[in-house]
Amino acid sequence: MAAFYYKLDQLLSHCIEKLVKSDLDSGCIDKELPNEISSKIKLLRRKSLQEAESGAEEVDPILEKRLGRIHKALDSDDVKLVELLLSESNLTLDDAHALHYAIAYCDPKIVMEVLSLGSADLNLRNSRGYSVLHVAARRKEPSILMALLTRGANASETASDGQNAVSICRRLTRPKDYNEKTKQGEESNKDRICIDVLEREMRRTSLSENVSILSPSVADDLNMKLDYLENRVAFARLLFPAEARLAMDFANANSTSMNTGLLASKSKGSSGSLREVDLNESPAVQAVRLQSTLHALRKTVETGRRYFPHCSEVLDKFLDDDMPDAIFLDKGTPEEQKTKKRRFMELKDDVQKAFYKDMENNNRPGRTSSSSSSSSPKSGVTYKARRKY
């Protein structure tokens, strides 16, 4: 690109020659390079094939045109058109390497739509020997990585150059960015989230972890479960905003009223919108709505435990100490307010120390700490009834 824009003809010719002989596919070349350069590379490739004595067949121009249309449809965020083009041409998503292309160049929402078609092979390699997870590791978008891993992508699988997803991600991340400290409540660095998610998935797979998100001692009462999960998600958003948002997006929880629990009660002066009484709503309809909300909240917490176990451990301590009651610092007698403020400051200090300790562990090279202990709920943790002041 530099040679092209600065008109360094000799260097440009050398670069084009390298690309002609490379294993980069036509779609990548079309996407990344100016039309003048990409057209020249494809022309030289065709001539090279014609002159070769190996008997290699020339790329079918009709097929190449059809594949180009599919990629353009993805560029236009039109997955319906992609489906139509595939059906008309008898091609598949894998034939077009459509998922590879979407992960490399499209909005995460479009990637999810392509994944929802359900016909793409997550283990398929492109011409360079990369799986879709390897391409996602190059892009470094946490939501895409988590979606692929949840659908069964293998984090330990290596590309043709021997690199797995986490090593690809690390190679493209500056140590300065990875080791940068994040203060409590601030946005975490995306590069570090990607690396940590991939490393935890590799450990999870190797240890065959099967972590339950709820303590066996929790009562079966639906309202109590909702109370706990609402507050847990609310405080996750307060203490770990980037990680909480990722977990919520992945669980599709943003479509649910999440401004609930104690934080919402404080701001609204009510118990939150999830359980407001609707006199026109039948008990059956209300049960379905609450179960749907419970599922979204449960999936959010499950995702957090799977990909962000250290953050979950901090939340375990926060909720186990019954600290949410102390949020209402201006309620009660002067003596009660004083006691609650003291408890709040003590736990806030503990949480902050735990947060920085977690960051230090993440930054320590070659760490091999087991995630099973930090991912599991603390023994004896119970869902306590919240006192209302």
Confirm whether 110 is domain-assigned: no
DSSP annotation string for 265-292: HHHHSSS-GGG---TTS-HHHHHHHHHH
Question: What would the mean pLDDT of 165-185 be, rounded to a whole number?
Answer: 87
User: Does 224 share its domain with 359?
Assistant: yes
Confirm whether 115 is domain-assigned: no
Question: Which pLDDT tens digit goes with each residue over 11-45?
Answer: 999 999 999 988 887 778 888 899 999 999 988 98
pLDDT band at 4 (very low <50, low <70, confident <90, very high): very high
Q: How many CB atoms lie within 10 A of CB 115?
A: 21
Domain C-terminal end among 210, 225, 257: 210
CA dist., res. 163 & res. 171, Å (int): 10
User: Does 231 share its domain with 193?
Assistant: no
pLDDT of residue 286: 67
| 87 token code pair | 């059906």
User: Does 205 share its domain with 302?
Assistant: no
| Domains: count for the chain | 2
* Burial (Cβ within 10 Å: 0-12, 13-18, ≥19) of residue 206: exposed
* Burial (Cβ within 10 Å: 0-12, 13-18, ≥19) of residue 218: middle
pLDDT of residue 221: 59
pLDDT of residue 218: 35
User: Does 241 share its domain with 341?
Assistant: yes
Least confident of 20-34, 47-61, 264-278: 264-278
pLDDT at 189 over 50: yes
Question: Which pLDDT tens digit goes with each residue over 136-173?
Answer: 999 999 999 999 999 999 998 999 888 999 999 999 99
> Which residue did the predictor score with more confidence, 202 or 137?
137
Domain that holds residue 184: 122-210
Can you tell me whether residue 153 is helix, strand or coil?
coil
Confirm whether 170 is domain-assigned: yes
Question: What would the mean pLDDT of 191-210 be, rounded to a whole number?
Answer: 79
DSSP annotation string for 314-357: HHHHHHHTTGGGGG-TTSS-HHHHHHHHHHHHHHHHHHHHHHHH
User: Does 350 share its domain with 296?
Assistant: yes
Confirm whether 370 is domain-assigned: no
Q: How many CB atoms lie within 10 A of CB 63?
A: 13
User: Does 288 share its domain with 185?
Assistant: no
- CA-angle at 379, arms to 378 and 380, nearest 5°: 110
pLDDT at 356 over 90: no
Contacts of 132 (CB under 8 A, 6+ apart): 99, 100, 103, 120, 122, 124, 148, 153
Q: Indicate the pTM of the whole model.
A: 0.57
Confirm whether 265 is domain-assigned: yes
Domain C-terminal end among 171, 187, 210: 210
Domain C-terminal end among 175, 210, 245: 210
Confirm whether 18 is domain-assigned: no
Confirm whether 32 is domain-assigned: no
CATH of the domain at 151: 1.25.40.20
Confirm whether 348 is domain-assigned: yes
User: Does 146 share its domain with 233?
Assistant: no
C-alpha torsion angle, residues 129, 132, 138, 140 (rounded to 10): -170
User: Does 205 share its domain with 249?
Assistant: no
User: Does 235 share its domain with 293?
Assistant: yes
